């Protein structure tokens, strides 16, 4: 219950913050439309009144929140389409990219660390390698290189709309950030007395790694997985733009360029709520992993 209330409070605060931030951007949608055609001052004022842009920020905020809670995200001020379906479609693309690359990264990081816990030195070296890779190479650089290599020169992958390259690039990037701290934790747990005692009972290395090392090393990685998944929502943006995927990142970026407040707001609030949800889930999983945490609460 505590987690839920905290999450709700955070969601509301973030929404209001975003609202103020958007207000701080110079110009609004009327300016954007006016710059394209010929609207005179009176027409612009009338348009602002119609869209409610002449109201004070707090009033617009509550009007928007009220409508959003009732399920109405408003209409795109630029395109006149309802925001809900636009968001839904874009979220599908982003979720697919995020879920696939997140899963790939988690499986890769935990797989390597499991092998390391079972005594593989090659796995430890691989962790170092992907960690260096993820620090040294920004995903957009790798993305451009991958486009050139696989799409332009080799012609193996489509240049637009393909999921494989962005999933692998984001996955390795995430695995690198996740595997390094997990690997250090694994090395620390492996030196604890209960692991020696378990080895002295004749347990095989892989069993030992799975039941007596990894579960104790995992809490750190679970917190980091939360951070990673949250970061992934931003990380998908570059991939979406680079690989021509019509996702949330692309939607929000276009919305900002057009000062299309309802679209931007809905997109960012959805992302923020997703992050709040991920954090709550992280806390929940940690409680399940370590019985000492839940009995302490």
Residue numbers at the binding site for another protein (CB under 8 A): 192-194, 196-205, 211-212, 215-216, 289-292
Q: How far is the CB of 115 from another protein (least distance, A)?
A: 16
**Half-sphere exposure at residue 63, Cβ-oriented, CA atoms within 13 angstroms:** 11
**b (16+ CB within 10 A) / e for 85-101:** ebbeebbebbbebbebb
Q: Would you say 55 or 294 has its CB closer to another protein?
A: 294
**b (16+ CB within 10 A) / e for 213-246:** bbebbbbbbbbbbbebbbbbbebbbbbbebbebb
Q: Would you say 216 or 239 has its CB closer to another protein?
A: 216
Distance in angstroms (rounded) separating the CA atoms of residues 289 and 284: 9
Q: Would you say 99 or 196 has its CB closer to another protein?
A: 196
Q: Would you say 24 or 200 has its CB closer to another protein?
A: 200
Q: Would you say 38 or 201 has its CB closer to another protein?
A: 201
Distance in angstroms (rounded) separating the CA atoms of residues 68 and 84: 10
Q: How far is the CB of 295 from another protein (least distance, A)?
A: 8
Q: How far is the CB of 112 from another protein (least distance, A)?
A: 20
């Amino acid at each position: 219950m505590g987690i839920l209330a905290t999450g709700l409070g955070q969601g509301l605060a973030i929404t209001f913050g975003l609202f103020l931030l958007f207000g701080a951007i110079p110009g609004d949608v009327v300016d954007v439309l006016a710059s394209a055609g010929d609207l005179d001052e009176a027409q612009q004022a009338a348009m602002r009144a119609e869209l409610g842009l002449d109201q004070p920020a707090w009033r617009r905020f509550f009007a928007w929140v009220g409508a959003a809670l009732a399920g109405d995200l408003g209409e795109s001020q630029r395109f006149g389409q309802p925001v809900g379906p636009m968001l839904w479609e874009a979220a599908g693309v982003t979720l697919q990219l995020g879920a696939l690359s997140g899963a790939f990264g988690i499986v890769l990081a935990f797989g390597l660390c499991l092998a390391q816990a079972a005594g593989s030195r090659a796995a430890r070296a691989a962790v170092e390698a992907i960690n260096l890779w993820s620090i040294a190479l920004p995903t957009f650089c790798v993305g451009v290189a991958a486009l050139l290599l696989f799409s332009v020169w080799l012609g193996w992958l489509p240049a637009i709309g393909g999921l494989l390259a962005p999933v692998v690039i984001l996955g390795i990037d995430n695995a690198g950030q996740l595997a390094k701290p997990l690997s250090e934790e694994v090395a620390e747990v492996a030196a604890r007395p209960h692991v020696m005692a378990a080895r002295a009972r004749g347990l095989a290395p892989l069993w030992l790694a799975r039941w007596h090392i990894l579960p104790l090393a995992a809490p750190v990685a679970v917190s980091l997985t939360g951070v990673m998944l949250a970061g992934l929502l931003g990380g998908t943006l570059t991939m979406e733009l680079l690989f021509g995927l019509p996702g949330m990142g692309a939607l929000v970026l276009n919305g900002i360029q057009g000062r299309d407040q309802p679209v931007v707001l809905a997109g960012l609030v959805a992302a923020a709520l997703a992050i709040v949800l991920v954090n709550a889930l992280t806390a929940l999983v940690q409680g399940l992993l370590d019985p000492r945490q839940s009995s302490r609460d």
